[in-house]
Amino acid sequence: MTVNVLELNNIWVSYPDENGSLLKRLFRRERKLFWALKGIDFTVQKGEVLGVIGRNGSGKSTLLRVLSGLIEPDKGEYVVRGQRPVLLSLGAGFKPELSGLDNIYLNSLLLGHRKEDVDAKLEEIIRFSELDTFIYKPVRTYSAGMRARLAFSTAITLDPDILLIDEVLGVGDEAFKAKCRQAIMEKVQDGRTVIIVTHSAHLVKQICNRVVWIHLGEQKAVGDTKAIIEEYQAFMKGKSS
């Protein structure tokens, strides 16, 4: 039996149009809205790996924000059964003056984990990050790669039930990138629910069971990976030629 852990029923999201000064905005009768998502409608089943594709500006990031509960849809219904999905975000809220260790705690608590869980997994996080004794140094002394390693280790080790991943993780050197990819694959094989948002058809073909294709805020297709990717690639080719 399949369980729908997430259900999106006809989701609409708008952003306020922000042009003009305060005075103009106050006196304009109708507020202009920009619709970023127009009637998105799909479900996510437990244990599946769902890909969300679409080119830049198609509304992928907005969808991620809805999924992680950052914004509420203007219209439609978003049902979460169980834990709310957490965006595997890289280093949100890192404080450069604090040590890597302090930042692990701060970052994990921000992602909604409990302090006890961080205590328990602390060693594993540090080991995965390969930062060694640098973990006691302030994050401002880190290179970009080291920073990314710390962020990724924190996020992946304290995994939530549903993992949201934005784009390909272009972090660290090749070796670490491979390690990240492998860590994600392990989660996938673990039967964890994963949602990957990307514009890379290649990545989707590799790991996703099902795909949602979004174009200019509208849901073009949802279903079997192979068929939709072919359609998507043909569509993109048509656009560029």
Partner 1 sequence: MFILRKLVQDIRQHKDLIYYLTVSELKSNTARTYLGLLWWILDPVLYMLIFYLLVQVILQRGGEGYAVFLFVALIPLKWTTSCLVDGTKAIISNQRIIQQVYVPKIVFILSSLMVNTFKFAIGSVVMIIFIAASGVQLGPESLYYLLIVPVQLIVLLAGMIFLAHLGVYVRDIRNAIQYVARMLFFLSPVLYTMDQVPGKLASLLYLNPMTSLIVSYRSILLKQGEPLFIHLLVMALVSLILLYLALKLLFRYEKEYAKVI
Please enumerate in sequence order all residues whose Cβ is within 8 A of that of 185, keeping only pairs 6 or more positions apart, or say none.
207
Q: Which of 148, 150, 152 is nearest to 165 (CA)?
A: 152
Nearer to partner 1, 33 or 234 (CB): 33
User: CA 53, CA 204: separation in Å to the nearest integer?
Assistant: 8
Nearer to partner 1, 15 or 124 (CB): 15
Six-digit token pair at 136?
Answer: 């006691």
Six-digit token pair at 205?
Answer: 């073909």
Q: How far is the CB of 235 from partner 1 (least distance, A)?
A: 29
Q: What angle do CA 173, 47, 118 make, to 5 degrees?
A: 55
Q: Which of 182, 184, 146 is nearest to 166 (CA)?
A: 184
Binding residues for partner 1 (CB under 8 A): 15-16, 18, 22, 65, 68-72, 84, 86-87, 89, 92-93, 95, 97-98, 102, 105-106, 109-112, 114-115, 138
Nearer to partner 1, 111 or 197 (CB): 111
Q: How far is the CB of 164 from partner 1 (least distance, A)?
A: 10
Q: How far is the CB of 62 from partner 1 (least distance, A)?
A: 9
Nearer to partner 1, 25 or 220 (CB): 25
Q: How far is the CB of 8 from partner 1 (least distance, A)?
A: 16
